[in-house]
Amino acid sequence: MPAAMVDQIKWIAEKRGETVSDTVRNLINKALAERVYEKNTELLTKVVRQQVEAAIKSYVIFPSLDNTERTVRLVDQVFDRRVSLSRENRDNNLLS
């Protein structure tokens, strides 16, 4: 270990009132716990992302968003139907 690191460990040990070996053990345990926390965070992030994506996809009108051409055609068909339902018959307007 570098001399500066040994001096820092000794200073921490004196501050805590511990032996140097106890301080080294505590520092190693903290480092391992932090690494485990980082790994768990990565795993939890993946799981949460998958669950959120699944929830969002379940509320999408057209779940097959990968096929953009098909969804556009379906949207056009739905739009045309709605417009045709709301239009008045032009033939009737000519007669009146």
* pTM for this prediction: 0.42
Q: pLDDT for 6-33, tens place per residue?
A: 899 899 999 999 999 999 999 898 888 8
pLDDT at 6: 87
Query: Do 44 and 62 contact (CB within 8 A), yes or no?
Result: no
- 45 vs 92, more confident: 45
Query: Do 17 and 6 contact (CB within 8 A), yes or no?
Result: no
Residue 62 DSSP one-character state: S
Q: How far apart are CA 55 and CA 15, in angstroms?
A: 51
Q: pLDDT for 33-62, tens place per residue?
A: 888 888 888 888 888 888 888 877 776 655
